[in-house]
Structure 1
Amino acid sequence: MIDSAFTLAEAQHEIETLLRTTPISNQPAIVLEWNREALDVFVHCANTLVFGSPGVPVLPTWMKAEPPHVTIESITLDTAEYLAKRGGANFGRVMIVPDSVSAYSNMFGATVKIESHPFVQVCAKSLPKGKYLGAIAVVEDKSRLPLQLGYLSADPKCPYHPVFGGGRNGRLVR
């Protein structure tokens, strides 16, 4: 189930079992809550781009699928795997567990690299205002079940179109 999930709700039982039974770091787990509607728009835009055409940037190195073969599944799994390569493990496309403080920091730095990549920005401009590909949340206390998530908001002063943000009403939720 976790391999096919796009939101915490779809895999919550499995994630909570993993957190109870797996020795993981003291760093908060990161949960990605994907927005299928925004992903549809993003993927459609990505698949219409023709490389070599004016204004079409190169594909990010972390994306394995190339247009016109980008799917919701490929973009979300590629993103989770890219973030986990910063030092940790991903469980499907919805949860990443950093293995150190520096890995935790590096993962958030990598989200900025994803968001600011020219290819991502071309596709992100097709998203409706206020819509994001997904929200990022932090599991603040792994021992507390059901999981309590702190959602991270997009920076309103961001110089580019953010692709991660929103959460619940766009605010940090505790």
Structure 2
Amino acid sequence: MPTKKRRIDETSLEQYSDDSDNGEVEDDSIAVLFKWNMTETTAFLDAVNNQIGAGNHPTPVWMRAQPHIFTFISFTDDLFEYLKPNAPAHRVAPVWIAPNSLEDYHNIGVRLRDVEFDPLIQAAMAALPPGQCLAEVFHLSDRSYNARLMGGPGGRIAPPAPLRRVFG
């Protein structure tokens, strides 16, 4: 099966390039980039707000916004803080987290999995069509800007059924 080319936001690469040129990013660092599916993310956030409003699931501890008012900005700000805590200079929500050491990169992957396993997140994902994700997650590990899906050629490993994949 031929590999489908994926596009990411070129402005995020330009920003990463500018930071690299300024010496702010080491050659061996890894950037994690997010390409959001805005149609599905909007439906997801409506479902999150409805689930919380109905009292069906508790809010994950990493979500800091007021209940019933989760927006794309509040969701991505909270998510990026959870993925790489206490490093605001390394995060540009909602697009990228960089630079990251190999340990940082591993921890981001583990935390993405934790987000996918959360009961509220899974309940909200049920509002989306099967097979849809909120975002594709890429990593960029050199100056060639050859972004690859996080987790290898096939992307991140999907959670076991009946759980839904949140990040591709």
Q: What is the TM-score normalised by the length of structure 1?
A: 0.77
1:162 aligns with 2:165: yes
**What does residue range 8-157 of structure 1 map to in structure 2 within 5 Å?**
8-25=9-26, 26-50=28-52, 53=55, 56-85=56-85, 89-141=90-142, 143-144=143-144, 147-152=145-150, 153-156=155-158
Contact 1:154/1:162 (<8 A) preserved: no
SS at match of 2:98: strand
Deviation (angstroms), 1:48: 1.3
Give the superposed CA RMSD: 2.2
SS at match of 1:27: coil
After alignment, is 12-21 or 82-91 more displaced? 82-91
Q: Percent identity?
A: 22
Amino acid paired to 1:129: P
Q: Equivalents in 2 of 1:14, 1:27: separation in Å?
A: 15
Higher relative contact order (CA 8 A, sep 6+): 2
Q: Equivalents in 2 of 1:31, 1:68: separation in Å?
A: 27
Q: Equivalents in 1 of 2:24, 2:110: separation in Å?
A: 25
Distance 1:43 1:85, change over 3 A: same
> How many pairs align?
154
SS at match of 2:139: strand
Q: What is the TM-score normalised by the length of structure 2?
A: 0.80
Deviation (angstroms), 1:69: 0.4
After alignment, is 117-126 or 58-67 more displaced? 58-67
Deviation (angstroms), 1:157: 6.1
> Structure 1: which 5+ runs fail to align?
1-6, 166-174
Q: Equivalents in 1 of 2:99, 2:58: separation in Å?
A: 29
Deviation string 1:81-101 (CA, Å, 9 cap, x unpaired) is 211118782123211125432
SS at match of 1:112: helix
Amino acid paired to 1:164: F
Deviation string 1:89-131 (CA, Å, 9 cap, x unpaired) is 2123211125432222111000011110111111011111121
SS at match of 2:149: strand
